[in-house]
Amino acid sequence: MAPRPLRVINHHNPMQPYRVDYQPQLLEEAVLLAMRSHEDEPLFRWERDQIYVRFETEEREAAFQQLHLSWFDILRMGEPLQECFETWPLLREATQRCLIMKARTPKEAGAELYAAAEGFTAGNDAAPTLLIQLTPGLLHQPAALLAFLRHELLHVVDMLDPHFDYTPDFPTSYAGPAYDHLLRGRYAVLWDVIVEGRMLQHGWVPLSAREKQFSSFKRAFQGSEEKLAESFAHFFDRNSHTHHELVEFAQHPEKWLGREKPESSSRGRCAICHFPTFRLASASMLAQEVQARIQQDYPAWNATQLVCQQCADLYESRVDMA
């Protein structure tokens, strides 16, 4: 899937071949937000008004773009991204350009890699495009933007790092789409854990980040508190993890979280995801709508079979969103 065609303006050092392109609409809205109550707002408004006086209708759009770009530089709104590029040179070395566009909602904000038709894998000769989606409100707040970019772009650094050996093709299983969705969710939790761990080592996030990530880890995986803490520390406190390692843990957490006698420490296996679990829910604990959704995906499932809390939560959320 390629980025949607956009009219962009080029914003980069002319002595440097790497391109950073901002969507004009994003720049305009971010600058307008930044100039509200700014000490130079009267000057900015006067310059905008002059465009209507000095330029014909067909020339005004380009003039407005140039004005907003000029004030973008004056306000130093590009510095957080530049700092990230300096922290991780790989971002520019392994991508052909950076395209920054407006996110329609805060949930869509993030960073991705878009590659050629053959797809992206670490070490691929076809350099991908770095796509960053931001809201105007985020773009004009330097501190918040820097924190956001560090978190998002460290994921991208992993994707570009040959040692991490990232591949977008997550393995599928025989258990069906709900199980695959669960695995991807667990993988995402693990990836955030190793990202936030490195950010804490650099002093970029508060100490409370550790407890926050541990809480997410415990919601995604089941086990004794001791085993969970031990496995979490392995990912959060250490570096040099790999994509394969995260996938393996997401698929088979029982290898790390199980005890010497699994039958004495676990109530059994979930009838849907087949993971050993400490918490199983009976059908009587599930709403009729939830049971019906489970049976749509798993016709062989019946109310006598127990499911784990994660699968129950997954199907309850799907019913709520329907």
Q: Indicate whether 243 and 283 sit together in one domain.
A: no
Nearest one of 92, 96, 77, 79 to 27, comparing CA atoms: 77
What type of residue is 20? V
**CA dist., res. 58 & res. 35, Å (int):** 26
Provide the number of structural domains found in the chain. 3
Note the pLDDT tens digit of each residue in 82-106: 999 999 999 999 999 999 999 999 9
- 174: how many CB neighbours lie within 10 A of its CB? 6
Q: For the chain, give the percent of residues with pLDDT over 90.
A: 57
| DSSP secondary structure letter of residue 126 | S
Mean pLDDT rounded to a whole number for the chain = 84
The answer as to whether 162 is a domain residue is no
The answer as to whether 92 is a domain residue is yes
Query: Between residues 199 and 286, which one has the greater pLDDT?
Result: 199
Burial string for 247-265 (b: 16+ CB within 10 Å, else e) reads bebbbebbeebbeeeeeee
**CA dist., res. 282 & res. 304, Å (int):** 7
The answer as to whether 49 is a domain residue is yes
- 61 pLDDT more than 70: yes
Q: Following CA atoms 66, 69, 73, 79 in sequence, which dihedral angle do they give, to the nearest 10 degrees? A: -150
Range of the domain at 20: 9-157
Q: Indicate whether 250 and 271 sit together in one domain.
A: no
Q: Indicate whether 203 and 303 sit together in one domain.
A: no
Q: Indicate whether 230 and 275 sit together in one domain.
A: no
**CA dist., res. 315 & res. 322, Å (int):** 11
| Confidence band, pLDDT 50/70/90 cuts, at residue 168 | confident
Output the pLDDT for position 304. 79
27 neighbors 69 (Cβ within 8 angstroms): yes
- 8 pLDDT more than 50: no
Pick the last residue of a domain from 123, 157, 191.
157
**β-strand pairing of 129-134 with 97-102:** parallel
Output the pLDDT for position 312. 78
Pick the last residue of a domain from 234, 257, 280.
257
Burial class (CB in 10 A: 0-12, 13-18, 19+), 1: exposed
Pick the last residue of a domain from 257, 285, 302.
257
**CA dist., res. 110 & res. 108, Å (int):** 6
The answer as to whether 314 is a domain residue is yes
Q: Indicate whether 208 and 272 sit together in one domain.
A: no
The answer as to whether 169 is a domain residue is no
Note the pLDDT tens digit of each residue in 105-131: 999 999 999 875 444 444 445 689 999
Q: Indicate whether 149 and 191 sit together in one domain.
A: no
Output the pLDDT for position 322. 56
**CA dist., res. 206 & res. 222, Å (int):** 26
The answer as to whether 253 is a domain residue is yes
The answer as to whether 236 is a domain residue is yes
Q: Indicate whether 33 and 122 sit together in one domain.
A: yes
The answer as to whether 163 is a domain residue is no
Q: Indicate whether 197 and 309 sit together in one domain.
A: no
Q: Indicate whether 46 and 78 sit together in one domain.
A: yes
273 neighbors 301 (Cβ within 8 angstroms): no
Nearest one of 206, 70, 73, 77 to 141, comparing CA atoms: 77
Q: Indicate whether 253 and 272 sit together in one domain.
A: no
Q: Indicate whether 185 and 206 sit together in one domain.
A: yes
Output the pLDDT for position 257. 79
Q: Indicate whether 59 and 130 sit together in one domain.
A: yes
